Amino acid sequence: MPVAGRALRNSPDDVVALTEQQVRSRLPQGDQLVMSIRKDDLTRQDMYGEDVELTRLVESTDGGVIVIGLSYDRRDAVRVFNQVCPECGSTDAHLLGPADEHVAAGLRAEASLYQCADCGTAWDA
């Protein structure tokens, strides 16, 4: 959900926090991951390499933020050892499941969500 830069500059409230709350309320019950992405969060590789579409989306907010949310079911989490946690370097992780109908159709076959068994960090790969 895009939040325009002018909304951030002109609002006395924390628009990003309110938008994150709205995204959470629309997701199905269960474990949820909601994050905000600003232009400053993008790396040079994101901007000119693999994530050009994401860069375009963030830049379309004119200094604003993109809020992304997803939910996942951990009941059948599979333990994997072929992923490296970006925070602590552990190779002990849980595959949080295949993407469901709430993930954009074009990303379902490509995106998998993992969570580190040691520190709890979640990432996609």
**Interatomic CA distance for residues 2 and 67, integer angstroms:** 6
Q: What is the pLDDT of residues 71-106, one digit of tens each?
A: 776 666 778 888 899 999 999 998 876 666 666 666
Q: What is the pLDDT at residue 58?
A: 85
Q: What is the pLDDT at residue 80?
A: 85
Does the model's pTM come out above 0.85?
Answer: no
Rounded mean pLDDT, 1-22: 82
Do 63 and 1 meet the contact criterion of CB atoms below 8 Å apart? no
Question: pLDDT: is 100 or 55 the higher one?
Answer: 55
Residues 6+ away with beta carbon under 8 Å from 61: 2, 3, 4, 5
For residues 91 and 61, membership in a common domain is answered with no
48, 81, 94, 119 from 42: Cα distances, Å: 10, 27, 26, 23
Instruction: Give me the domain span that covers residue 118.
Output: 73-125
- CATH number of domain containing 118: 2.20.25.10
Q: What is the pLDDT at residue 90?
A: 93
For residues 94 and 57, membership in a common domain is answered with no
Average per-residue pLDDT in the chain?
Answer: 80
For residues 49 and 92, membership in a common domain is answered with no
Burial of residue 116, with CB atoms counted within 10 A of its CB: 0-12 exposed, 13-18 middle, 19 or more buried: buried
For residues 10 and 67, membership in a common domain is answered with yes
Residue ending a domain, choose from 42, 57, 72? 72
Q: What is the pLDDT at residue 106?
A: 65
**Interatomic CA distance for residues 74 and 25, integer angstroms:** 19
> Total domain count for the chain?
2
